[in-house]
Amino acid sequence: MDLVRTWAVFRKELIHIRRDLPSLIQVILLPVMLLLLNGYALTFDLKDVPLAVYDQEQSQVSRNFLQGFRGTRYFQIHSTINSYQEIAGLINSRQVKLALVLPFDFSRYLKSGQSVKVQAIIDGTDANTANLIIGYLQGIVSAYSQKVIVERLQFQGLTRLDLPIQNDPRVWFNKDLESRNFIVPGLIAIIMTMVGALLTALCIIREKERGSFEGLMGTPLKKWELIVGKLGPYFLVGMLDMFIAMAMGEFLFQVPFRGSVLLFIILAALFMLVVLGQGFLISVIARSTLDAYQMAMLTTFLPSFILSGAMFAIHQMPIALQVASYMVPATYLVTISKGIYLKGIGINILWPDAVMLCVFAAGFLLIAGRKMVKKIQ
């Protein structure tokens, strides 16, 4: 491979990128917008869920029970109501997600040593949020029930009571359970996939539509000189976007980075070769710019967003989609990114993912090279 000829193609592609300033600005702003929108708007955290209370008894005992909801960050008492009709109106208008109904004989049942049922009416239109609400609701009710049991036994003369099993949860790697710590590392893979694949998917097809591709074929350029020269500038742009995303994660979202920065950069660069090869293959086989754009969206961005594990847990998907996720290159960078960011693990654990990225990179680039030769002939 002649470095002079390769540099000439590289420089030519850089000039095209520089002249297309609107597209370049869009590519630079794309990771910023994605991170801002998803980092702030997309969250799986449950905080300050609006709650309506229908306390039919309104005694000191019922108020003590409700104090457990006031003292948590997960619920916020929105309103106190006096009828079931008000509950329907508040839930239908989306003002509250949960309504608690305490019966008029709440304290009488507790003082007599019996169980009392507290009705919880939950807005189930968002199944994920409803499940989280049920979980936190059960936790608060269980804590209050344990307190009542202890008070009953102490009233009977037991001065000390230890529960047979006590829950002592300890969360590793993301102790505050912040969604952004889970989302931002995964978004880096999605951003690199979108930028790298979409840009390179258009590089050859634009040459064909301009009529300059035949001119390139008339030069002494060899196949890999053309490929390396064409992909080099987009590799730099993609890595620049990656650094922008890393900087935003560090300084804007305060996502912890516990592993090796150098290892992450090396493996991210390897992934960038994968998406460049994928985009280049699309550019070679596409018939028009529109075809290339649509193919890139359908085969790179959408699978990486849905199936890579960046947003949705793979193990909760149907078996067929779990198998399909291993055919998505972004799956391996998401595993690498979250492992290095949150767990601080090294290549001794991540080597299978690195090997798969090498296989994908070699496969896409070799197939694209062969397809390009067939197109020329």
Question: What predicted TM-score, i.e. pTM, was given to this entire model?
Answer: 0.79
Question: pLDDT of 316-330, one tens digit each?
Answer: 889 999 999 999 999
- State how far the alpha carbon of 115 is from the alpha carbons of 111, 148, 157, 289, 311, in Å: 10, 11, 21, 69, 41
- How confident is the prediction along the chain (377 residues), in pLDDT tens digits per residue? 677 888 888 888 888 777 777 777 777 787 888 888 877 766 666 788 999 999 998 899 889 899 888 878 889 998 999 888 999 999 999 899 999 999 998 888 888 878 888 999 999 888 888 888 998 899 899 888 888 887 777 777 665 666 666 677 788 888 777 778 888 898 899 988 888 888 888 777 777 777 666 666 667 778 788 888 888 888 998 899 899 999 998 888 888 899 999 999 999 999 999 999 998 888 888 888 888 888 888 888 889 988 998 888 888 889 999 999 999 999 999 999 999 999 999 999 999 999 999 999 999 988 988 887 544 44
C-alpha span between 62 and 107 (Å, rounded) = 7
CB 271 within 8 A of CB 358: no
**What is the pLDDT, as a whole number, of residue 374?**
41
- Nearest residue to 14 (alpha-carbon basis) of 210, 322, 234: 234
- Domains of the chain as residue ranges with CATH: 3-42+178-376 (no CATH), 49-155 (3.40.1710.10)
**What is the pLDDT, as a whole number, of residue 377?**
42
State the helix-helix crossing angle for 223-251 and 179-201, rounded to 10 degrees.
Answer: 160
Residue type, 72: T
- Nearest residue to 284 (alpha-carbon basis) of 219, 224, 362, 371: 371
C-alpha span between 260 and 364 (Å, rounded) = 28
**What is the pLDDT, as a whole number, of residue 352?**
94
C-alpha span between 316 and 212 (Å, rounded) = 49
C-alpha span between 225 and 272 (Å, rounded) = 18
DSSP code per residue over 299-313: IIIHHHHHHSSSSS-
State the helix-helix crossing angle for 261-285 and 223-251, rounded to 10 degrees.
Answer: 130
**What is the pLDDT, as a whole number, of residue 44?**
67
**What is the pLDDT, as a whole number, of residue 376?**
44
Write out the two tokens for 43. Answer: 């969250």
323 exposure class (CB count in 10 Å sphere: 0-12, 13-18, 19+):
exposed
